[in-house]
Structure 1
Amino acid sequence: MGAAEAAALIPAGATVGMSGFTGSGHPKAVPQALAARIEAEHAAGRPFKVNVWTGASTSPELDGALAKVGGIAQRLPFQSDPLCRQRINAGEIDYVDIHLSHVAQQAWFGFLGPLDVAVVEVLGILPDGRLIPSASVGNNKTWLDIAQHVILEVNTLPPRELEGMHDIYYGTAIPPRRKPIHLEHATERIGEPYLRVDPAKVIAVVPTHHADRHTAFAKPDADSRAIAGHIIDFLAHEVQKGRLPKNMLPLQSGVGNVANAVLAGLLDGPFEELLGFSEVLQDGMLELIRTGKMRAASATAISLSPEAMREFTERIDFYRERIVLRSQQISNHPELVRRLGVIAMNAMIEADIYGNVNSTHLMGSAMMNGIGGSGDFARNGYLSFFVTPSTAKGGSISCIVPMVSHVDHTEHDTQIIVTEQGLADLRGLSPRQRAQVVIDRCAHPDWRPLLQDYFDRARRSGGAQHTPHLLGEALTWHQRWLDTGSMRP
């Protein structure tokens, strides 16, 4: 049936599990038809909202379209759409920010409530009813398993050669029936190439022919290249010390320009035969595979720029042998991250002098995107880097502060902080030792004296000295920016 007919099958107040992860593999037609229906219902004076669950962020055609018409009541677990963000911060959408590895299990446990409808993009349906997954897997397996009803969008535009690139694992279970996940190598296959669905639950099949949203990445700037250089030098040092093998350990890289700059820096680095074990395969990792620097990679989604997507499509037979796409409950699973010894690299908004990291909130209250998978990898990785330029907003904000305005990753989960100024290795250091290293190596020179002054006065304050703070002053930097547009006193 058509998208409008399928959207008419979704009732007001329904919880809808959509496919999609970082702009790839999301349904293209039904969300827009649903948005049009919601807009018409609102114009007629009838309330209509739905709860939206996904794998991660999607695109303006899904999050943006539904947010624009005020059609989202609840959203989880991650988003990056400007309109959606605006409504979240206005208190119009209840946003549930969840570690990506936790979503499927919380849904299975029943913690999130029932899932009424799944809307999942696939590339095709086999004669026996199995489904060919698209460019992302995300939470699709779980949505298909637990939803009361299923709507399938069959997209004929992506290359059919994606078939066989996926590894869908059906061995997870709810406690106490859980068993170890028998994956011992980053690109090992432990499942099957197809998704399953009970045909009795399928209420609509909608044909589409639309591309994913491919966003061009900005070229790495000087700060990104400097951050990449610090990380690569550090990794070489760890190899020299015998704490890493020469081909390192599997790499995880978050989304964005800094992450791509680090991966681009590895092209000229001394490391060979690399492996990837990440959430998203972006341009930088694709380039490492293309040049032979990276042997193979595992992820839950492919999210490329238009240029990189053309390269991927033209040489898809080459990449099919070197890329595995899994469910995000496997790609982000703490058990596997710990076992494989993943080296994690993720962006942050700010860090404080003691190593606490804020990766989600601006000035303590405004949601940016969400925690995503950074916590899955940070707490469980063999090495974990958090990266950011040392300043923001033209230098009016220091990204190294006395106390973060929101905590996503505590000092106990933070190993290494990197800015363009330098790298602070916090492993094995007490809080006061960490503070001095962060100030000396990561803070911008314009802000370093102010941070040092705060730390010195906190140590002289007469209070407890394990983690010295001036509580009446610790968050005044953020308040000053809200009041004056600058953190400067």
Structure 2
Amino acid sequence: MSNLQELYAARRMSAADAAAQVRDGDTIVVPTGVGEPPALLEALSARRHELNDVAVSQILPLRKFAYFDPATRANVRHDAYFFGGANRAGGQAGWVDFVPAYFSELPMLIERGLSPADVVMSMASPMDEHGYFALSLAPDYTMAAVRKARVVLLEVNPEVPFAYGDCHVHISQVAGLVESDAPLFEVGMPEIGEVQRAIGGFVADLIEDGSTLQIGYGGIPDAVVSQLQHKKDLGIHTEMIGDGILSLIEAGAVNNSRKGFMRGKTIATFALGSRRLYRHLHRNPALEMHPVELVNDPYVAARNDKLCAINATLQIDLIGQCGSESLGPSPYSGTGGQVDFIRAANRSKDGKGFIVLPSTAKNGSVSRIAPMLTPGTHVTTSKNDVNYVVTEYGVAQLRGKTAKQRAEALIAIAHPDFRAELRAAAQAIRLL
């Protein structure tokens, strides 16, 4: 038996034994989305009653594990970097707390000790012949946590791809290995309605051949993607790679040939999609997974000319402030990487940052373009950063415009039923 195999055998254990390494007061860092290790988190949940003051920090949990329990919050609690379906209700009820931070800066907060990282729990690929595992589904902030943590626990699954990039952990860094063969979590393509398709069409028309894309998950981003199949020489530099981007690669629209940074490579920091997507990551020399401090760094991303960043918001006011992460004071998602990439697009030569949103909410009864943001709304992207705003009624380009010009442009793309009301409100606050 080789030394690496001996190390592997010595560190292989049950999920319960791995979770037993968690101490009172520890903060456990878990990767984004599909990178979360179900066997380890189920074992943590099972022993939560015997622990005290343990926190789990994560972006976008996908499964509601038993530790998501207000009754045992004093034992094991969830501190969100970002809200999703599994933790949103807890955040809105107040028993799940959150960390306001740009996605790109989470590794820095961990490295400086501003955001604790005592234990890492992550999905990982099988070990290669050199003793390395790939945290290919989400190296994000997890690689920084691996360097800082007292204990690194990996759930090794043969379905996890061994991707290239800065996403590898050596057996010598690992305190416990748990083997699993459960299918990876899959996320299907969202439904695309008429409104999403109209918004996607406006955005797609403004994306030129040779552009580099940052695009996320959702009906509007996928509506954009579906209308880019005929484009040429597109590149990808994005925080999330999903099936929509995979479809562009398979169609030949993406070849990364005109990128300014890591030409020839698709770059991402986490994957969220189907098994077909995860297989695409496996030992693919044209794709690399990197930590978020590289991928989302506005200076780095801006080295790609014609960077097009496409991000959604929940509400925007008439001078361009975007509330993308809360409904009034009630948390809904999180800061994420929206500002990172909007600023990157603004720095990029011929770059374009798009903020996209349907014109209305609540079955057409509320305008998402508002005179002022709802009181308590968390401002995500500032008025100084917003460039293009797109609804199903058109495009408003805001950068360089006066406050009055911005108000006129945004009212013009609001739902027609609300334009007169918005104009009267703008006059009342002396914007018009």
TM-score tier by shorter-chain length is: 0.7 to 0.9
Q: 1:311 to 1:139 in 2, by over 3 A?
A: closer
Q: Trace 1:212-227 onto structure 2 (pairs within 5 A).
A: 212-227=184-199
**Deviation readout 1:250-286 (Å, 9 max, x if unpaired):** 1101221111111111114xx2010010011112111
Give the AA of the match of 1:99: Y
Q: How does 1:28-67 map to 2 (within 5 A)?
A: 28-38=38-48, 41=49, 48-54=52-58, 56-60=59-63, 64-67=65-68
Query: Secondary structure of 1:294's partner?
Result: coil
CA contact (8 A) 1:254 1:374 kept: no
Task: Check whether the contact 2:384–2:399 (CA below 8 A) recurs between aligned residues.
Answer: no
Question: Is the deviation greater in 89-98 or in 400-409?
Answer: 89-98
Residue 352 (structure 2) pairs with residue 355 (structure 1): no
Look up the match of 2:176.
204
Instruction: Please report the RMSD computed on the Cα atoms of aligned residues, expressed in angstroms.
Output: 2.1
Aligned to 2:9: none
CA separation of 1:154/1:349 partners in 2, compared to 1, >3 Å: closer, same or farther? same
- Specify which of 80, 88, 91 is matched with residue 85 of structure 1: 88
The aligned counterpart of 1:400 is: 369
Q: Structure 1 pair 47/135, CA: closer, same or farther in 2 (3 Å)? A: closer
Question: Given the alignment of the two structures, is residue 335 of structure 1 paired with residue 299 of structure 2, yes or no?
Answer: yes
In the aligned structure 2, how far is the partner of 1:299 from the partner of 1:371?
18
Taking a change above 3 Å as real, the CA distance of residues 130 and 316 of structure 1, as seen in their structure-2 partners, is closer
How far did 1:125 drift? Answer: 2.6
Q: Name the structure 2 match of 1:27.
A: 37
Distance 1:311-1:433 versus aligned 2 partners, 3 A rule: closer
Q: State the distance in 2 between where 1:434 and 1:450 align.
A: 16
* Aligned 8 A contact 1:230 1:418 in 2: yes
Conserved? CA contact 1:139–1:327, under 8 Å: yes
Q: Amino acid of the residue matched to residue 117 of structure 1?
A: V
> Is residue 410 of structure 1 aligned with residue 382 of structure 2?
yes
Superposition TM-score, scaled by structure 2 size: 0.86
Amino acid at match of 1:259: P
Post-superposition shift, 1:349? Answer: 0.3
Q: Which residue of 399, 417, 420 corresponds with 1:446?
A: 417
Q: Is contact 1:97–1:371 with CA below 8 Å preserved after alignment?
A: yes
Is the counterpart of residue 108 in structure 1 residue 72 in structure 2? Answer: no
Indicate the residue corresponding to 1:180 in structure 2: none
Q: Secondary structure at the match of 1:120?
A: strand
Structure 1 392/140 Cα, relative in aligned 2: closer, same or farther at 3 Å?
A: same
Which deviates the most, 247-256 or 97-106? 247-256
Aligned residue pairs, count: 399
- Residue 373 in structure 1 maps to residue 371 in structure 2: no
CA contact (8 A) 2:41 2:65 kept: no
State the 1:233 CA deviation.
2.3
The alpha-carbon deviation at position 385 of structure 1 amounts to 0.5
Q: Distance in 1 between matches of 2:120 and 2:343?
A: 31
Gaps of 5+ in 1: 169-192, 236-245, 460-466, 469-489
Distance 1:397 1:350 in 2: 10
Structure 2 stretches of 5 or more lacking a match?
1-12, 257-265, 346-350
Which residue is 2:269 aligned to?
A: 300
Instruction: State the match for 1:133 in structure 2.
Output: 135
Q: 1:121 aligns with which of 99, 105, 123?
A: 123
Alignment CA distance shift 1:64-1:388 (3 Å):
farther
Rounded to whole Å, the distance in 1 between the matches of 2:69 and 2:221 is 30
**Counterparts of 1:316 and 1:101, CA distance in 2:** 22
Counterpart in the other structure of 1:426: 398
Task: Kindly provide the CA deviation profile for residues 336-384 of structure 1, in whole angstroms up to 9, marking residues without a partner as x.
Answer: 122224210001001111111010011x111001111111111221311
* 3-state SS in 1 of match to 2:363: helix
In 2, Cα distance between equivalents of 1:428 and 1:231: 20
TM-score (norm 1): 0.77
In 2, Cα distance between equivalents of 1:118 and 1:93:
20
Is the 2:189–2:244 Cα contact (8 Å) retained in structure 1? no
Residue 471 of structure 1 is matched in structure 2 by none
2:80–2:96: 8 Å Cα contact kept in structure 1?
no
Cα displacement (A) at 1:397: 1.7
